Amino acid sequence: MTGHDHSHSHHDHDHHHDDRWKHDGVRVIPGNQLDTNVPSTAGMDRAAAINFARVGAQKLWAGTVSIKPDAKTGAHHHGHLESVIYVVKGKARMRWGESLQFTAEAGPGDFIFVPPYVPHQEINASPDEVLECVLVRSDGEAVAINLDIEPVEKPETVLWIDPVHRDPNEKK
């Protein structure tokens, strides 16, 4: 009889252990249930999927960004946060710098990294296709500091080449 009790309590323990992660485990956030009530920048629709308020994320914020054809955001930065942008659809043009003097483009499948405090602007480089991106930031809070920057007329193009493979046209 004691053997039976033992196995029973052991089973209970396992059951309790199984439940431990039930409501604190993996979370699926359906794409049609994102939270659009996040700090935004003119010209851009941001929607939060992963943030502290929704899922208790402590170190990450993630969501989507869509920018209408031919639209661009105001100049802004994200304080101490690092940002990663993944382009899902469309053509992204990024401008950055104290007077937005640098530019680079990214298309579907490309990743963009934006370091802390870098003034930047996201531009939809397509006249007829919505730019859709996934955005991940290094903190559970959403920070967007909008800046009043007078942009230079013609930004300098910066090619996406890693430090090992230099642009052959670049001056030594």
Look up the pTM and report it: 0.71
What are the tens digits of pLDDT across the range 81-120? Answer: 999 999 999 999 999 999 999 999 999 999 999 999 999 9
Angstrom distance (rounded) from CA 141 to CA 121: 20
- Single-letter code of the amino acid located at 116: P
Q: b vs e for 37-60, b when ≥16 Cβ sit within 10 Å of the residue's Cβ?
A: ebebbebbbbbbbbbbebeebeee
Residues 43/74, Cβ–Cβ less than 8 Å: yes
Largest CA distance in the chain: 86
What are the tens digits of pLDDT across the range 107-154? Answer: 999 999 999 999 999 999 999 999 999 999 998 776 777 888 776 667
State which H helix or E strand residue 2 sits in: helix 2-19
**Which CA distances in Å does 150 have to 69, 79, 129?**
22, 20, 27
Domain parsing of the chain, residue ranges: 32-157
Strands 92-96 and 120-124 turn out to be: antiparallel
66 φ/ψ angles, rounded to the nearest 5 degrees: -130, 140
Angstrom distance (rounded) from CA 9 to CA 33: 41
User: What is the band of 40 on the pLDDT scale with cuts at 50, 70, 90?
Assistant: low
- What is the distance in angstroms between the CA of the first residue and the CA of the last residue of the chain? 84
Please spell the DSSP secondary structure of 7-18, one letter per residue.
Answer: HHHHHHHHHHHH
Please determine, for residue 78, whether its predicted confidence score (pLDDT) is greater than 80.
yes
Among 133, 64, 128, 62, smallest CA distance to 92 is for 133
For the domain made up of 32-157, give the CATH fold.
Jelly Rolls (2.60.120)
